[in-house]
Structure 1
């Protein structure tokens, strides 16, 4: 029986690092004495509460965490409570707590942090664009939802598409690294296109994966996919360093 999509292997070959588990948060630590920048990876959803393994144990997120270590930065993954479209406030609180934990680690340079959102986690980008803290060096979004899907009942605070126009005019708005899949669902692709059009003067870097599907980093094992992940990492790291 074939593996379900979410258990497909990460597209980049990387030696898996065993993280330190701290409650619902996993920390991937490079072997260095100096505090390093950190990237917090935020999975998508909604994900059923009973699903096992939980997202931080999916190969794709273990891959991103391990890849962070190879790039000499701290990787942080978490299981947040986005089990239903109405649960974005709870999930966002979990992300905030994971970021707080990361910044308090002695191995982390608390003034150099990036938060990287995937898929349905993209709606939580709104908070970080609306009121970005000074230590947030970059946000990233890979095949993100930027407006709720039809039929979803979502707290209106979680609508990045509505936030970006105002955020784009603020010097405090962090750089954005956005990766979009060419074979994306039409309603998701349309929201991304609107977001890019509204971004105006925002510091925005776009990576296109023309032949990639939503979830290309676990579904499409091609050189195009591998290069897209590597380029996104390069751009995020450039802002952290």
Structure 2
């Protein structure tokens, strides 16, 4: 399976032609350097809006080079072809360092690309975040809580939106964990500062992923958040690489359209 992660592209064939800056160090810790890649549009000088691609969680050896997986290389190319900058990056496993440390790595990535926006040809005021699988907890929950003004769009594919839905599956989850790491809780009671949100649900996913996404979307609607929910009725967890059908391709195109629209430059 590890080899497939590096070769399996999105079922919507990615274009080619992005200018790729690979292996940029965004943080160094006791374990070594953490790296990101930058996929720039083929033509022009920018600045362009950027989308941070946040992979999920697994054991450290599995995710150590996640930015090089076929799915994130694909999305880098897809985004660049649409006039956005795609930024996949490597982060540690929560099973090794805990959610707080991985959340700090997400923040460090955002801080790095914004601090180096001129060099990277990125518009530091227009950033989107696209989270996958477990990244909803350590990436989206903190961002929804902090409401950074430069985060103008959030999307999640088959991600963890409501951590409470997983408590029966993982009894180690405490009420304190849920308060801190659930995106539903992070919505709070006010809409101010919340960006448009896209929720993509895989119909054949594990029940906690499905019910959690529905709980999150319901709460977001109650608050008046601009939330859009899309479903792949027969899709698996990871449908964008595992289910080679038209619905998967529609959802990928739709997510790209979502980011283009939400991050559109006004000049």
TM-score normalised to the size of structure 2? 0.82
1:102 to 105, 113, 123: 113
The structure that is helix-richer by fraction is: 2
Q: Tell me the distance in 2 between the aligned counterparts of 1:187 and 1:114.
A: 25
SS of 1:198's equivalent in the other structure is helix
Deviations 1:187-224 (A, max 9, x none): 21111111112111111011211121110011011111
Query: Which residue matches 1:191?
Result: 212
Compute the displacement of 1:85 (Å). 8.0
Q: For the Cα contact (< 8 Å) 2:203–2:235, is it kept in 1? A: yes
Mapping of 1:72-221 within 5 angstroms? 72-84=83-95, 87-103=98-114, 104-106=116-118, 107-123=121-137, 124-148=139-163, 149=166, 150-151=169-170, 152-153=172-173, 155=177, 156-166=179-189, 169-199=190-220, 200=222, 201-221=224-244
Q: 1:185 to 1:10 in 2, by over 3 A?
A: same
Q: Deviations over 1:20-70 (max 9, x none)?
A: 32021111112321200000010001x221237721111001111111110
The alignment covers a number of residue pairs equal to 238
Task: Give the match for residue 13 of structure 1.
Answer: 13
CA contact (8 A) 2:129 2:155 kept: yes
Unaligned ranges ≥5, structure 2: 26-34
Conservation of the 8 A alpha-carbon contact between 2:10 and 2:71: yes
User: Does structure 2 conserve the Cα–Cα contact (< 8 Å) formed by 1:86 and 1:153?
Assistant: no
Report the alpha carbon displacement of residue 72 of structure 1 after superposing the two structures with TM: 1.1
Q: Which residue of 2 aligns with 1:38?
A: 50
Alignment of 1:202-241 (within 5 A): 202-241=225-264
Matched, 1:22 2:36: no
Aligned pair partner of 1:60 in 37, 53, 71? 71
Closer/same/farther in 2, CA of residues 186 and 138 from structure 1, 3 Å limit:
same
Structure 1 unmatched runs, 5+: none
The two structures, once aligned, show a CA RMSD in angstroms of 2.2
